[in-house]
Amino acid sequence: MSRLDQIANRHHWRKARCSVNDGACVEVVLVNGQIAVRDSKDPCGGWLRYSVRSWRDFTSNVKTKGAIPPPER
């Protein structure tokens, strides 16, 4: 386990207030000035890190424009 994993695991991860219990959620936590994001179904799996600004831009976009569906393959 990396040092960042150890740091992230000591923090209180949180889900969105409007999340439902169908397992399609992510959890977030602030770690060393960055936003860490993980899959709530796999809390021991990996996680992604984003700058606070990038995360703020992303969440603002989702709130105003809605979620963007993935491109069709």
Split into its structural domains, the chain has a count of: 1
Domain of residue 50 covers 3-64
Confidence of residue 1 (pLDDT cuts 50, 70, 90): low
Q: Give ∠ CA 67-69-72 in degrees, rounded to 5.
A: 170
Q: Which of 15, 13, 16 is nearest to 30 (CA)?
A: 13
Average pLDDT over residues 52-66: 88
Residue 17 lies in a domain: yes
Q: Is residue 71 part of a domain?
A: no
| Predicted local confidence at residue 51, as pLDDT | 95
Rounded to two decimals, what is the model's pTM?
A: 0.71
**Which residue, among 22, 25, 19, 67, has the nearest Cα to 42 in the 3D structure?**
25
Average model confidence (pLDDT) across the chain: 80
Asked whether residue 70 is assigned to any structural domain, the reply reads no
